[in-house]
Amino acid sequence: LQLTSLGSHPTSCTLGYLLDEAGLTNSMKTSLAILCVAAAAAAGRTSAFTVPAARTSSFLSSALRSAAASPESSSASAPSSGGRILDCGDTSVAIKRVEEDEEVMEVASYRNNLESPQMLIERQQAKRDALDKTTEALKGVGTGVALGTVIGGLTYFSGAGLTESLQRFGIVTGIFGTFLGGNNYLGKSVYVSSLDDATNRLKVDYAEGLMARQDVGFVGKVPDPELYGARYKGSNGVVACVDCQLRNCDESRNSMKYGELPPHVHIRNVDVDRGMQRRGIARALVEEVEAYAKTTPAQMITLVVDNTNFAAIDLYKSFNYDMEDISNPLSQGKYGVWTRGRSIMFKYI
277-296 per-position pLDDT tens digit = 999 999 999 999 999 999 99
Dihedral over Cα of 271, 256, 325, 297: its sign:
positive
pTM of the predicted model as reported, rounded to 2 decimal places: 0.68
Residue (of 336, 339, 250, 233) closest to 297 by Cα position: 250
Could you report the per-residue pLDDT of 171-224, keeping only the tens digit for each? 999 999 999 999 999 988 899 999 999 999 999 999 999 999 999 999 999 999
Distance CA 98, CA 215 (A): 10
Distance CA 82, CA 185 (A): 53
* Side chain identity, residue 59: F
Percent of the chain with pLDDT over 70: 77
DSSP letter, residue 252 = -
Give the mean model confidence (pLDDT) for residues 25-34.
Answer: 48
Q: Could you tell me the CA-to-CA distances from 65 to 6, 27, 72, 200 in Å, in that order?
A: 21, 21, 14, 50
Residue (of 238, 208, 2) closest to 106 by Cα position: 238
**Residues present in the chain in total:** 349
80 or 336, higher pLDDT: 336
Backbone phi, psi, residue 8, to 5°: -95, 10
Dihedral over Cα of 61, 63, 64, 70: its sign:
positive
Backbone phi, psi, residue 247, to 5°: -135, 160
Distance CA 53, CA 60 (A): 11
Distance CA 224, CA 12 (A): 39
pLDDT of residue 82: 56
Distance CA 152, CA 129 (A): 35
The full DSSP string for 18-65 is HHHHTT--HHHHHHHHHHHHHHHHHTT-TTGGGS-GGGHHHHHHHHHH
Could you report the per-residue pLDDT of 97-128, keeping only the tens digit for each? 999 999 999 999 999 999 999 999 999 999 99
pLDDT of 237 strictly over 90: yes
307 or 43, higher pLDDT: 307
Cα-based angle 20, 24, 27 (whole degrees, multiple of 5): 110
Distance CA 15, CA 7 (A): 11
pLDDT of residue 78: 42
pLDDT of 54 strictly over 80: no
pLDDT of 52 strictly over 60: no
Percent of the chain with pLDDT over 90: 74
- CB of 327 within 8 A of CB of 338? yes
